[in-house]
Amino acid sequence: MKHHKKSSVYPTHSDWYNTTLLQSLTLTTTDSDSKSNPLLYSYTTSYKGFAASLNDEQVEELLKSEDVLKVYEDTVYQLHTTRTPEFLGLEKETKLWEGHTAQDLNQASHDVIIGVLDTGVWPESSSFDDAGMPEIPARWRGECETGPDFSTKMCNKKLIGARSFSRGDTIIVGTFAAVERGIFVSCSAGNSGPQKASLANMALWIMTVGAGTLDRDFLAYASLGNKKRFSGVSLYNGKGMGNEPVGLVYNKGLNQSSSICLPGLLEPGLVRGKVVVCDHGINAHMGKGKVVCDAGGVGMILANTTTSGEELVADSHLLPAVAWAAFSSRGPNMVTRQILKPDVIGPGVNILVGWSEAIGPFGLSDDTRKTQFNIMSGTSMSCPHISGLAALLKAAHPGWSPSAIKSALMTTAYVHDNTKFPLRDAAGGAFSNPWAHGACHMNPHKALSPGLVYDAIAWDYVKFLCSLEYTPEHIQLITKRHGVNCTKKFSDPGQLNYPSFSILFGGKRVVRYTRVLINVGETGSIYNVTVDAPSTMTIKVKPTRLVFEKVGERQRYTVTFVSKRGVGDSARYGFGSIMWSNAQHQVRSPVAFSWTLL
C-alpha cells in the first residue's frame, strides 16, 4: 500500500486496509463471499500492507485502486514431515502393493493399531491431531485412563488409548505374550555402539532394530585461522559468534576428563570467550554443550574419537556446535550365539520428531526453550519406522503371523546403497557386516511382496528355550504356560526356523540346519539358491531348487556349513548369505560365522 495515501479519517492502518479492500471488491463479491471478511492480516512495522484471500477477478479489481502499490501472490507451501517417507519410497503412488493401489493399502490400514511403550506422551502435540483419521476400529478394547496432567478427553481418533504402568512383566515376558496373541513387536537395539556385543532386546520373538542414516544432513562448518575448513552438522540457529576469529581450546592434558567436557572440569579462565573441542564419550552430547556454556565458552566442536566412529549426528545445543558420532549397538548376540542380532536397521539419524513442551530440546531442566518438534537420533528413532512398516504389512496381509512379517522385512532388505556399493559402517567407514546391520536396511516395497517367508509359532519358541537348557520353571515364568516339561526341544538353538543364520563352530567343523519356507507369492513359483561364503568355509544347500505348486505350500531345505581344516586356528569370524530367487523375488538370509565366542 502507498502509506502516504492514508487519510486521517481512518484511526488505524487496519481500518484503512479493510475499507479499501471492501470498496474495491463490491463488484466482485458474491452473496456467499459477503459473509466473511477477506482480510487476513495487517502489516504496519516492516512495511505497510495487508494479506487477503482473493480470487483472480478480485485481484484485478483491487489493482485499480490508486492506494495499492503492488499485489503479490503468496507461494503455496506443502506440509512437510521428516525425510524418511520419501527416503523409503512410501510417497510413491504406484507399485507399492502389488496388484493394489495406494488407496487400497490406506483403507486396509484403518483397522491396524500400533501400541507404543514409552516414558510418557504429550497429547497436545499436533502429531496427535486426528483430522482426517478414520473411526476407531470396532474391535478396540483398550482404555484411555486419567493420569497426572492427563485427561481422558485428550484421547481421540489417533491417540485412541493411554495407560500408565508402574509395575508389570519384564520385556521378555510381556513381548512373548504379545507375539503369542499375534502382535508384532519391535524393540530398539540400543545406542552403545560401535562396541561389539553391545545389543539390547535380543529375544528371538522380538524384531531387534538398529539405526541407519538418511541421505540428509544439517551441515555446518568450522573454519580455522590456518584456512583449513572442517565440515560437520549442527542444529544451532541462535545468535552467532560474529565475524571476528575466536580462540580454540582442546584441553587434552593429563586429565582426560577435561577433553570429554565433564561437569566442573573445564577451567573458566581457559575457555571463556573461546570455542572448546570436546571428545565424544561418557556424558551426553548436549550435556557437554551445557558444561562449555557454564564455563563461559562461546561455542563447542564435538569430535568423534577412534572408538566412536564417523557418523554425523545433529543435536539441539545451547550454543554453536558441530558433532561427529556413531551409536547403534552391535552384535554378536552373546546371549544366544546361534541367533543373529540385530535383525534389521532403519532410519535413525537426524529424525524430525514431535517434542514435549514440558522440557526444552536440550533435554535438561536448565533449558527453558520450548518447541513442538526436535531432531533426534538413536535406535529409538529407527524402531518406530519398523513398527510403522510392520503395520503396513499387517494391513496388506492380515493373516500373517508376527514371524512372517519379521521374515518379509528381513529377507527383502537391501545391502547396497544408491551408488551400488555395500553399505558402510559409520564406525570407521569400512563395509558394514551382519553383526552391525543384521539383514540390513528394510525395503517397504519388496517387503509387501516377499515371495517366501519363514514362519514360527509360540511352541517353536518354547522348544528353542528348552534347547538352551532352561529349567521348566524358568520357561513357565517366561511363557506363562504350565506343564512345560521340554520333552520336545531343538537339538541346537539354531534349528529354529529363523530368517537368518548364526553359526558357532566352537570345536566342530560341520554345522547343519534345516529351514522351512512358505510360498506367499504366485502359484507355480520356482526358486533357485545362490550362496556366498568366505574362503574359510563352504556352504552346501539341499535341494538347490524349490518348486511351489500353490500359495501357502511349504518346502524344506537343509544347509550344511563346513569349516575348512585348520581355519579355527587363524580365523575368528566371517560373513556370507543364502538367497532363494526367481525373476520376481529375492529371498536373502544373512549368515554370520564364528570360530570363537568373540
3-class SS letters over 370-411:
CCCEEEECCHHHHHHHHHHHHHHHHHHCCCCCHHHHHHHHHH
Query: Which residues are paired to 418 by β-bridges?
Result: none
Q: How far apart are CA 291 and CA 257, in angstroms?
A: 12
Q: Would you state the pLDDT for residue 29?
A: 55
Delineate the domains of the chain, giving CATH numbers in brackets: 3-62 (no CATH), 219-323 (3.50.30.30), 497-594 (2.60.40.2310)
Smallest CA-to-CA distance from 407 within 360, 329, 460, 355 is with 460
Cα dihedral sign, 141-147-153-156: negative
Strand order of the β-sheet with 573-581 is 501-504, 586-594, 573-581, 525-532, 545-548
Q: What 3-state class would DSSP assign to 434?
A: helix
Tell me the C-alpha to C-alpha distance, in Å, between residue 475 and each of 203, 385, 420, 483. 13, 31, 45, 10
Q: Which residues of the chain have pLDDT under 50?
A: 31-32, 77-80, 317-325
Query: Which residues are paired to 511 by β-bridges?
Result: 561
Query: Which residues are paired to 414 by β-bridges?
Result: 441
Q: Answer for the pair 143, 161: CB distance below 8 angstroms, yes or no.
A: yes
Residue 149 CB neighbour total at 10 angstroms: 10
pTM metric for this prediction: 0.77
With vertex at residue 177, the alpha carbon angle to CA 173 and CA 329, rounded to the nearest 5 degrees, is: 55
* DSSP E strand stretches across 150-214: 186-188, 207-212
Q: Answer for the pair 247, 275: CB distance below 8 angstroms, yes or no.
A: yes
Q: What 3-state class would DSSP assign to 436?
A: helix
| Cell numbers placing 595 | 570360530
Q: Answer for the pair 438, 343: CB distance below 8 angstroms, yes or no.
A: yes
Q: How far apart are CA 111 and CA 475, in angstroms?
A: 33
Q: Would you state the pLDDT for residue 96?
A: 66
Cα dihedral sign, 409-412-418-423: positive
Q: b/e per residue, 103-121, with b = 16+ CB within 10 A?
A: eebeebeeebeeeeeeeeb
Task: Tell me how many helices (H) and strands (E) the chain has.
Answer: 14, 22
Q: Would you state the pLDDT for residue 357?
A: 84
